[in-house]
């Protein structure tokens, strides 16, 4: 299983820069850049909510599920 982040695609569709999204959402450029490049293992619902509000999109526009045939490890 893999969750793929498509933030870069949605940002390009909306013609919004990382700096502008950072200002609108209140999340640092560094953290948004990690989201944009998929180098994160978790995202807070409050952050996802703020991003969706700023980009006028649904969470499914940003997150995509791909079945790799492997069961993920659950971290508690």
Contact 4, 64 (CB under 8 A): yes
pLDDT band at 71 (very low <50, low <70, confident <90, very high): confident
CATH of the structural domain 2-66, one choice from 3.40.50.970, 1.20.120.50, 1.10.260.40, 1.10.3720.10: 1.10.260.40
Burial of 34 (0-12, 13-18, 19+ CB in 10 A): middle
Q: Where are the domains of the chain?
A: 2-66
- The predicted-structure confidence for 5-55, as pLDDT tens digits, reads as follows 999 999 999 999 999 999 999 999 999 999 998 888 899 999 999 999 999
Contact 55, 10 (CB under 8 A): yes
């Amino acid at each position: 299983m893999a969750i793929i982040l498509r933030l870069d695609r949605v940002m390009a569709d909306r013609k919004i820069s990382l700096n502008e999204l950072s200002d609108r959402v209140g999340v640092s450029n560094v953290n948004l850049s990690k989201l944009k490049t998929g180098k994160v293992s978790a995202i807070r619902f409050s952050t996802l909510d703020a991003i969706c509000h700023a980009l006028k999109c649904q969470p499914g526009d940003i997150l995509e599920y791909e079945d790799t045939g492997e069961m993920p490890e659950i971290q508690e």
